[in-house]
Structure 1
Amino acid sequence: MTEKCGVVGISLDGRDAARPLYYSLYALQHRGQESAGIVTHDGFQQHSHVEMGLVGDAFSEDDIESLNGPAGIGHVRYPTSGSVDSSCAQPFSVSFKSGSLGLSHNGNLVNADEIRDELADSGHAFTSDGDTEVIAHDLARNLLEEDLVRAVKQTMTRIHGSYSLTITHDDTVMGVRDPQGNRPLCIGELDDGYILASESAAIDTLDGELVRDVKPGELVILRADGQGFDSYQLVEQKQTAHCFFEHVYFARPDSVIDGKRVYEVRRDLGRKLWEESGIDSDVVLPVPDSGRAFASGYAEAADDVEFAEGLMKNRYVGRTFIMPTQDERERAVRLKLNPIKSTIEGKTVTIIDDSIVRGTTSTQLVKLLKDVGAEEVNVRIGAPPIVAPCYMGIDMASRDELIASDKSVEEVADEINADSLAYLSKDAVAEVLEQSRDDLCMGCVTGEYPYDIEGEEADREITRTEVPADD
């Protein structure tokens, strides 16, 4: 799996927004490493800089100095829709009769092709194959005939899927969250303005205060003077579809997502993992870094089991999922993680990880631990088995690549050569998040999705309630 994207929007009282946006993107770098970009507006014209690569490589000091204006948005991207090239890098910018637009998108539309064809038939020319440009063109068309709030509402009623958006319309900054709240978005207060961001960690980086999450179906418009924001609940639905994997893996542990501190959620999931499938062993080891909080909670619940660091991470090695071949992925595991022999030799070991996708990493880790003398290696996973792809904005393997898609737990244990394997249950995840399973998106672990997707099963009938734009 790869992270989705990170979005941010800032409106300040007179001070240029480019540098705070730059720092915010650094805080969201874990959500996308392919490209980074910033769009600002100085009250007269729009400024844009978008480049491939990490945030630190995409911007020079001169680039930041050239992005004038107290209002702007930013984006870090990992592709889930569209090409892997500069044409799909964001924010996407467009100028039209009613002004200029900048748009950053985290998520994935399931009806982008349908809307693209309709817009193309009416004369719109597209420069990329990504769904972000579809949203921008649709919003630009609506702005020719409607005021800002009504234009956004019309676009929201047309696009289906997951999205958190930060948008500039000239020097107005706004944020939109999809009606099921699948992708995260929150509001923060700064000393001289307000910020919208995918995660609260970006707000913390700027010494701001988290105000709240943007509600599903809500439009938030930051005031141009940096003195507040206005809220419009444009679309309502009976059910949400919050992505549970934000808490399990994607979000930074120091972030707050939908009112829950991610680190504490992961510790609670680890405690539940012990309650459901705890096994006596000499030592509990986390798989760094995402397994650490789970393992801490698991060991605490076990009471008399030692928690220890038994795998050291080489932080100068890229992530294993970006390696193009299976052989390279297997080699990258050893480059990335090295066992501490004194912690492992002659002991029964339980390793805790957040998930198993292809099984490559788990197989290599079990082998590493046994090669350095572990008497027994048990694997515990802080999420249910991943059995299906994600269509809501996570770049996940196909069913053919997912090890659990056609294998039982026992068969997966045999495949990775573990002495035992257990996953956390879906009900335990819902209990820890204090939400009904019906209000969570669990498509990757159930094969049922909150939207109709060709060839897949939907788990609900979508009924939207439109709220008058002037309410």
Structure 2
Amino acid sequence: MTEKCGVVGVSLDGREAARPLYYALYALQHRGQESAGIVTHDGFQQHSHVEMGLVGEAFEEGDLDVLKGGAGIGHVRYPTAGSVDSSCAQPFSVSFKSGSLGLSHNGNLVNADEIREELAALGHAFTSDGDTEVIAHDLARNLLEEDLVRAVKRTMQRIHGSYALTICHDDTVIGVRDPVGNRPLCIGELEDGYMLASESAAIDTLDGELVRDVRPGELVVLQADGDGFDSYQLLEREQTAHCFFEHVYFARPDSIVDETLVYEARRSLGRKLWEESGVETDVVMPVPDSGRAFASGYADAASETTADGESRAENDDGVEFAEGLMKNRYVGRTFIMPTQDERERAVRLKLNPIKSTIEGKTVTVIDDSIVRGTTSTQLVQLLKDCGAEEVHVRIGAPEIVAPCYMGIDMATREELIASDKTTDEIRETIDADSLAYLSTEAIAEVLGTERIDLCLGCVTGEYPFDIDGEATDRDVTRPDLGGKTLHADD
């Protein structure tokens, strides 16, 4: 089961953690709409509330009142292609001889089945088929024999794949990020404590200050008195594998992910899109909301140079930027609708064209990605039905040709329109006058990194982990380079 989620953890001095966690989960709601949960610890016992639905549906006033303690973690879960039920809702809780454990996971393990079988043979009883329970059981077993830091390191050496974890071991809150940093996780300072979150927007919601990202392979332990955190660099890799799709689609534009403001990254990607494949039309418009920053950057670049790369004449403003599609904000993302029929219906429910922007004009419409082609096909038809003379489609990401095994329930190869079609064949399928994607080189340039330090598996078919039947883009069998201890002021 692959899932993409949001995790949070707080350790506060003299204040209950439940409401700050609740607000932080609201800030991360875009990362998961299937279930929400909070686990807290009051120094004596663990308290848990996990329910299906959105954050506002999963919690009522009285639910927060019984979640006692200044330490806790939270989770919002993303829908998957498999069964949807409460058995995989998080945080996942375990009670054992050495105490209690709550664990929230964003990511996906590629060796979860193997570890589950080994632990089951040792007597561990599993209640779900999710990989989060595998991590929890393995860590609980290690905590019977080791201190917290050594136990976490043993689990990290055993599990392979993508993971950002927030863990509540009794009243100690910790954060762990996988050795290649595939999934995001950051540290924030609050007035009366510290927190961990998938995105910095959750820290902003609590009036906190972003301290930094959790480093790949790092364990962060929030101090119980809210006075700081300890850092342990447990595993290191020669390269990272940051998920580029966080910047393209999934993260909130006001979040800072791996030291990059997502909004500015998307604007810069839009500028590169104009440089690589700009087309002169009457108007450029975004597909709301994730296409807006791309379109803004694209239009800005178009105001400076022509599609041929020449400087604009003084009285030539370039391509007009305008809103041509109005979004119904009570319809969820079509990307995560579980069936094709629902996705097709949701497009019509979600977007309505603004006729005055479109009628009798040539239009460039900019989106963040094309996955199955459902949305793009209907959008082009909507715009032409509204009187657009030409519709040109520009995409702020490369073609998605392969599934994601790292934590995004994207689609199978059979469902991905680009897996077996050329760009021109896709253009014909969606009935656009032209179609162009952004290059992987542009992605790396804008994010200020080398291609090898990004996870590009969904657009190259080569992954940063050893996955049965798939190619890898690196030496995944290389041993760890060792571990050293860092301190909070490093």
Alignment of 1:349 onto 2:363: yes
Q: What percentage of residue pairs aligned between the two structures are identical?
A: 83
- The amino acid that maps onto 1:151 is A
Check conservation: 1:83, 1:130, Cα contact below 8 A: no
Check conservation: 2:36, 2:51, Cα contact below 8 A: yes
The separation in 1 between residues aligned to 2:351 and 2:58, in whole angstroms, is 28
What are the residue-to-residue correspondences of 1:118-267 with 2, within 5 Å?
A: 118-267=118-267
In 2 relative to 1, CA 469–170 (structure 1 residues): closer, same or farther, beyond 3 Å? farther
The separation in 1 between residues aligned to 2:43 and 2:8, in whole angstroms, is 19
Alignment of 1:7 onto 2:7: yes
- What is the deviation of 1:259? 0.1
Deviations, residues 317-375 of structure 1 (Å, cap 9, x unaligned)? 23324445434422321111000010000000000000000001000000000011100
Greater shift, 449-458 or 159-168, is seen at 449-458
Residue 59 of structure 2 is matched in structure 1 by: 59
TM-score, scaled to structure 2: 0.94
Deviations, residues 177-213 of structure 1 (Å, cap 9, x unaligned)? 0000000000000000000000000000000000000
Partner-residue secondary structure (3-state), 1:430 = helix
1:404 to 418, 421, 433: 418
Partner-residue secondary structure (3-state), 2:219 = strand
- The amino acid that maps onto 1:358 is R
Residue 465 of structure 1 is matched in structure 2 by: 480
The separation in 1 between residues aligned to 2:4 and 2:219, in whole angstroms, is 21
Unaligned residue ranges in structure 2 (runs of 5+): 304-317
Check conservation: 2:73, 2:104, Cα contact below 8 A: yes
The separation in 2 between residues aligned to 1:422 and 1:81, in whole angstroms, is 29
- The amino acid that maps onto 1:135 is I
**RMSD between aligned residues:** 1.3
Deviations, residues 385-425 of structure 1 (Å, cap 9, x unaligned)? 00000000000110001000000000000000000000000
The separation in 2 between residues aligned to 1:77 and 1:103, in whole angstroms, is 13
The separation in 1 between residues aligned to 2:15 and 2:404, in whole angstroms, is 40
Partner-residue secondary structure (3-state), 2:90 = coil
TM-score, scaled to structure 1: 0.98
Check conservation: 1:81, 1:130, Cα contact below 8 A: no
2:322 to 293, 303, 308: 308
Alignment of 1:364 onto 2:359: no
Check conservation: 1:236, 1:464, Cα contact below 8 A: no
What are the residue-to-residue correspondences of 1:378-389 with 2, within 5 Å?
A: 378-389=392-403
Greater shift, 270-279 or 450-459, is seen at 450-459
Check conservation: 1:377, 1:418, Cα contact below 8 A: yes
In 2 relative to 1, CA 321–230 (structure 1 residues): closer, same or farther, beyond 3 Å? same
Alignment of 1:425 onto 2:425: no
- What is the deviation of 1:79? 4.2
The separation in 2 between residues aligned to 1:101 and 1:82, in whole angstroms, is 26
Greater shift, 309-318 or 327-336, is seen at 327-336
- What is the deviation of 1:4? 1.1
Greater shift, 410-419 or 72-81, is seen at 72-81
- What is the deviation of 1:458? 1.0
Check conservation: 2:363, 2:390, Cα contact below 8 A: yes
- The amino acid that maps onto 1:338 is N
2:333 to 315, 319, 325: 319
The separation in 1 between residues aligned to 2:271 and 2:382, in whole angstroms, is 26
In 2 relative to 1, CA 81–148 (structure 1 residues): closer, same or farther, beyond 3 Å? farther
The separation in 2 between residues aligned to 1:138 and 1:324, in whole angstroms, is 31
Partner-residue secondary structure (3-state), 1:221 = strand
- The amino acid that maps onto 2:434 is S
The separation in 1 between residues aligned to 2:297 and 2:483, in whole angstroms, is 46
Deviations, residues 216-237 of structure 1 (Å, cap 9, x unaligned)? 0000000000000000000000
The separation in 2 between residues aligned to 1:49 and 1:225, in whole angstroms, is 24
Residue 335 of structure 1 is matched in structure 2 by: 349
The separation in 1 between residues aligned to 2:136 and 2:338, in whole angstroms, is 32
Partner-residue secondary structure (3-state), 1:295 = helix
